[in-house]
Amino acid sequence: MDIQVKFNAKIFLMKYCSIFFTIFCLYATIGCRSTKKLQSAVIKKDTAVEKMTSRAVIDSSSDKIQAIDILNKLDSNKINFTTFSAKAKVDYEDHNGKQPDFNAFIRLKKDSVLWISISATFLGIEAFRLYITPDTLILMNKLEKTVEYHPFKYIETVAQIPMDFHLLQNILIGNPVYVGDSIVSFRQTANQILIGTVGTFFKNLITLSTQDNHLQRIKLDDLDLRKNRTASLLYDDYQKQNNVDFSTNRQINVSEKTKVEVSILFKQYEFNNELSFPFNIPKNYKTK
């Protein structure tokens, strides 16, 4: 491989690491509330809903109760795990067109450690490694032989929305996390259930399959019209393993100043196996 190819590959990998991390920052920072809180919050007189004259509000109390019941079932069916590991292929496209894909190797211990190794598929070499705990984020750049240390709140600084490790891990697993604290719309067809909620930062339209209550789509619109952020998350190709339903194909479309489309395909995944989280930093690495 000549010097120019090495240089270009380095630029690609640095860009992709930034992309992958930005994906987690963006989607792990969307406001959410447990659906268990909806029972009392919605049955009471919902002043927040009454003020939303420009939005479609639920027509009857029976619809409201049915929506609460469905969201509570969605919450109770979330994946309960101790560890999770996966290999995912990530494709990325922005205003410059489709970019070369990369692989992400993920290891997660619930409420404790998230470990991510990133490499470009066309090179087959590891370029970056992330080590994230509820308090700390460490990024090792194997191409430049550097390491960065950040508090976990660094993600909040990047995204400018509060978040925590628990929310971040649920993003990876595919557990419901985008449920607002007010239900404003409900519609059920033969194949789909659509529930509109409003949270602290976003209006959320959640689409579930009628047959198995699987998440199919989440449509997010920023409440702050000055930011005008919108995002669509698609969940597809569910597989059942050890009584766990897991979406192996995720599509993410983001529109703010520019449009970004991301495809995440989980090629392999396992739950509840014993894992290690190797993160030895060589002595010759410089701290940035």
Instruction: Map out the domains of the chain with their CATH numbers.
Output: 3-275 (2.50.20.10)
pLDDT tens digit sequence for 168-224: 888 788 887 667 778 889 999 999 999 999 887 778 899 999 988 899 998 888 887
Q: What is the pLDDT of residue 136?
A: 93
C-beta atoms surrounding 3 within 10 Å: 7
For residue 91, what are its two tokens?
A: 């494709």
| Residues forming beta bridges with residue 116, ordered by sequence position | 106, 130
Q: What is the pLDDT of residue 53?
A: 29
Quote the CA–CA distance of 195 and 207 in Å, as a whole number. Answer: 7
Beta carbons of 149 and 287 less than 8 angstroms apart = yes
Q: What is the pLDDT of residue 266?
A: 95
Beta carbons of 37 and 44 less than 8 angstroms apart = no
Which residues of the chain, if any, have pLDDT below 50?
1-18, 22, 24-57
Measured over the CA atoms of residue 65, residue 70, residue 73 and residue 74, the dihedral's sign is negative
Q: What is the pLDDT of residue 167?
A: 79
Q: What is the pLDDT of residue 107?
A: 96
